[in-house]
Chains A and B, each alone.
Chain A
Amino acid sequence: MRFPSSRHRLLLAVPVCAVLALTQACSAPGSKTGSTSTSSPSPTSSSTTAGSAAPGPASPASDTSPIKIAIVDAQSGQSSSLGKWEYNGVKLAVDAANSAGGIGGRKVELTVFDDQNDPTVSTNLARKVASEGFIAVFGPAESADAIAMSPIMQQAKIPYITSGQSPALAKLGNPYLFLNSPTSTTYDATLAKYAVNTAKFTNIAMITNNDAYGKGEQGAFTAALKALGVTPVAVQTVTPDQKDFSAALTSIRQKNPDALFIGAEEVESGLIAKQARGLGIKATIIGAAPISTPVYVQTAGVQDAEGSVASTPYLSNDTTAQSRAFAAAYKAAYGDTAELHGAKAYDGAEIFLQALKATNGAGGQALADAVRAVKYQGLVGNFAFDETGVGVHETQIGIIKNGVLTPAGS
């Protein structure tokens, strides 16, 4: 049997590999142009987005070109729920603003970018956003991605508001970075006080992942416990992609904890909770924002999520008239129940829209100053940005009962 010579084979392999590489590249992050009234995806070439709006951030008052704002989030992969929630919250606010006439006669145009929850990709997208005339960015939802984008956003003077909560964000000192939620320090201080003083847990074990969010949680919760004079009985670290936690959970079980603190994103927290129960760990599960989400309950299963304690600034859709109105509008628009991440994103978008009205559509330093000056009573708290970009400084405690988050002590 004769094969073509090896050189021939190599020459054939090269174009085949190139074709395969191209197909791979076409699944890399693309941008979906959505004008705020539709969300149909368009081809992934960037020329569609740039070509549909006039370039340049600041325009004269008689200009009717749209105000370009980008949304950078994970639209695929395990964290895609974060991206979806953020998009929903932002779009709700922007749609309402646009139907009320927009900003000085100009409509706000949203473009969605998928950063695949990968800091490398989000850095690339930051460059893209900076070069294509966007004046603001909503997102990313992940702290690691927000930190990665920071130098470029600062250089390009583009304000952005992230749903991330790692304390490392506040330490960046980027005047163009804003947070629409408290940092892990706040979440965990409230949680630690509840765990030690109210629920009176004595053996607290910790399991966190080692990405920016998880590291932030581990540091913040350990510090909060230390301030109360408590040392955790076990501290285990896992990776964000890990799917089997039996090793870590087995050593935790040896220490007989009565509370297990989970510092990981929604899906991973749900898996840890499920496997912990499967290994016979009866400890109460406590954590911050991810524990308050429906995704956590779905992943862990209603039975295993029962009794989980979450520290969150947005307890339920029923607390105030404002949250009820928001939840109703959210349900009408998306058919889904509103929750913390959508509410955070909505608040952030509302604040930016207010600031844009103040600067009449201009971006850059003026927009950043205007955002910082906004005092806004939002769904997740009273916003008053300090110079680190953090706007909200308190959270509350909720407990999951029958798959639904209810205020503690009710």
Chain B
Amino acid sequence: MQVFFQTLVGGIGFGAIYALVGMGFTIVYRTMGLVNFAHGQIAMIGAFVGVTFFLNSRLPFAVAVILSMTVTAAVGLVIEGVLRPLEAKDFDLMLIGTIGFGIVLEALASKIWGATGRAVPAPMDRPLHIFGIIVRTYDLVIIAVAAAATGLVWALLNRTKAGAAMQAVAMDREASTAVGIRVGRSNAMAFALGSGLAALAGTLAGPLLYVSPSLGSSLGIKGFCAAILGGFGNINGAIIGGLGFGILDGFAAGHFQQYSDLVTFLVFAVAIMIRPTGILGEQTVSRA
């Protein structure tokens, strides 16, 4: 029983991270109609920046997280700026451009921070004992932060003018321009927001995993799958999908040891075949 609850809490902890990554994907998709294949690598850059602030500059972890989100959002703005000319002309090239950027970011990270990577001590070490279950305090922190971030994102998208503008651009680009929405600026904000969320996920994941240039691909794939599992384009779906994927991953690791990845993705494939639009249904953006 203890093992069950422990795996559950650990799975929810990772699930919160996948949910954040999935949310970042979803926001960029919902507002720009773009599937950002560099998202995992952006998360990895965020993790490295956060680690540098946390370990080298010895800033408090929360400050390091916020700084990393800001820096990575700026990186996101740069990427969006470079890819913007393609957006109106050939959207598929923009998509391929993100793949290219992913490769560039990974190589840059190897150059700047070295290929080996760094281990990050968790900001809070002592585990909590609740009813005989040992819970990593840090897991609870991740869940709390992810919940807060989700709330803020929801508020931003649904209660602010900027958020409404972002959603309008996704629905109909021409009509948005016609009513005076600055599409370029709105897209830049969306990309920055997505990148910031990726950085949050990456920095939070740093103490749990190992910060190395290859962190991006594993986080990116799992976050992408989480978003699809919950329903691509659906923000609530990204959260449900993330949590579900995290729990699935945790239990698969517990029962199947070295074959856990195989089992996780097998179950994911079957789930998608049964319900292709994901748990909560897709909200696709038509870029016609």
Identify the A interface with B (CB < 8 A): 1, 3-4, 9, 12-13, 16-17, 20, 23-24, 27, 75-78, 80-81, 209-210, 236-239, 241-244, 246-248, 250-251, 253-254, 267, 270-271, 274, 278-280, 298-301
Contact = CB atoms under 8 A, between A and B. Distances in A.
Nearest to B122: A278
A6 to B, nearest CB: 9
A244 B110 contact: no
B119 A271 contact: yes
Interface of B: 2-3, 6-7, 10, 14, 90-93, 96, 99-100, 103, 107, 110, 115-117, 119, 121-122, 125, 127, 134, 136, 173-174, 208-210, 212, 214, 218, 250-251, 253-254, 257-258, 260-261, 288
A372 to B, nearest CB: 35
Contact of B6 (A1, A13, A246, A248): A246
B6 A250 contact: yes
Given A17-B96, A247-B254, 11 more contacts: A3-B91, A20-B99, A20-B103, A80-B116, A239-B261, A241-B214, A246-B7, A246-B10, A247-B260, A250-B7, A267-B210
Contacts of B100: 20, 23
Given A12-B93, A20-B99, A78 B119 contact: no
Contacts of B214: 77, 241
A278 B138 CA distance: 10
A121 to B, nearest CB: 14
A254 B136 CA distance: 16
Contact of B110 (A76, A209, A242, A254): A76
B96 A13 contact: yes
Which 9 A-B residue pairs are closest in the complex by CB-CB distance?
A247-B253, A247-B254, A243-B209, A76-B115, A299-B119, A246-B10, A237-B258, A80-B116, A280-B134
Nearest to B136: A278
Given A80-B115, A244-B208, A244-B209, A24 B103 contact: yes
Contacts of A299: 119, 210
Contacts of A301: 119, 121
- A contacts with B: majority SS: helix
A247 B10 contact: yes
Given A267-B116, A270-B119, A251 B3 contact: yes
Contacts of B251: 247
Contact of B210 (A75, A237, A243, A254): A243
8 contacts: A1-B174, A4-B90, A17-B96, A20-B99, A77-B115, A237-B258, A244-B253, A267-B117
Contacts of B14: 244
A254 B1 CA distance: 11
A250 B3 contact: yes
A322 B135 CA distance: 49
A39 to B, nearest CB: 16
Contacts of A209: 258
B200 to A, nearest CB: 18
A81 B116 contact: yes
Contact of B253 (A27, A81, A248, A267): A248
Contacts of B117: 78, 267
Given A246-B10, A298-B119, A9 B90 contact: yes
A376 B6 CA distance: 53
Given A23-B100, A77-B214, A271-B210, A13 B119 contact: no
A12 B116 CA distance: 37
A75 B115 CA distance: 8
A298 B120 CA distance: 10
A279 B134 contact: yes
Given A243-B210, A280-B127, A238 B258 contact: yes
A162 B51 CA distance: 35
Contacts of B7: 246-247, 250
Given A236-B257, A278-B125, A77 B136 contact: no
Contacts of A75: 115
Contacts of B6: 246, 250
Contacts of B93: 12-13, 16
A17 B3 CA distance: 47
A20 B97 CA distance: 9
Contacts of A237: 257-258
Contacts of B99: 20
A247 B249 CA distance: 10
